[in-house]
Amino acid sequence: MSADDERPGWVAAWDGMVALVGTDLSDGSITWGADAVEPGTIRRYCEPIELGSPIHYDEEAARAAGYDGVIAPSSAALMYTIPAMWSPGSPTLFDSAEPDAQPARSPINNDDPGPAPRTTGFFATDIEIDFLRPVLVGERLGTRGRRLLSCVPKETRVGRGAFSTFESEIVSDAGDVVARMRTGTYAYDPHPAGKEQS
């Protein structure tokens, strides 16, 4: 019996995805965030963490510090890249009353998983961002690219699936790259009820 014959079918189902490590799985288009960077959302971001630096709310202070205007905190940049979860006229996001039900759709879950098997569970595991420049009030941000850096099938307490890491760029409508981002995810099928792994 070969080693391949001993591999579980659910692991082999990820082979197509594993083979694409190093490949950009996107078409190069930009997915834009729902809204432009604006002072009100910066304020609401800064208030709960009590971030009082005047470069995030005072135009003169920001320019005196060498910026072209008020800037968003670097740690807030990602929220400006996320498309709307729901819009008027769209069907409901939560169409199941089951415990731990996933939203019917999510802008952080890719609609086209490529050769990866379809799964019903998904969550982000980690994120790493290299910031290249500050983001100004009035700019609109989006993400471009989806290079697969790793894909490792693994069974966990919650189910069977794969840990994957993707790299993308955060871009501005000014036409440049603001940051580079690596995001870890776990896509999986949950264990049947009562079959959780210890």
126 has which bridge partners? 184
Beta bridge partners of 155: 160
With a CB cutoff of 8 Å and minimum separation 6, the contacts of 2 are: none
3 state DSSP class of 171: strand
Of residues 154 and 105, the one with the higher pLDDT is 154
Closest CA to 164 of 183, 137, 189: 183
Q: pTM of the predicted model, to two decimals?
A: 0.80
**Going by DSSP bridges, is the β-strand pair 159-172/177-190 parallel, antiparallel, or unpaired?**
antiparallel
| pLDDT tens, position by position, 96-148 | 888 878 788 776 665 666 788 999 888 889 999 999 999 999 999 999 999 99
pLDDT level of residue 1 (50, 70, 90 thresholds):
very low
Give per-residue pLDDT as tens, 171-189. 999 999 999 999 999 999 9
Gap between the Cα atoms of 164 and 85, Å rounded: 23
Structure tokens at 167: 């790299």
On whether the CB atoms of residues 77 and 170 are closer than 8 A, the answer is: yes
Of residues 65 and 107, which shows the higher confidence score?
A: 65
* 37: pLDDT strictly greater than 50: yes
Categorize the per-residue pLDDT at 30 as very low, low, confident or very high, splitting at 50, 70 and 90: very high
* Residue-range domain boundaries for the chain: 3-37+80-190
Q: Which residue has the higher pLDDT, 47 or 86?
A: 47
Which pLDDT tens digit goes with each residue over 158-175?
Answer: 999 999 999 999 999 999
Q: What percent of the chain has pLDDT over 90?
A: 75
Whether domain 3-37+80-190 has CATH 3.10.129: the reply is: yes
Tracing tokens 């998983």 back to the chain, one arrives at 113
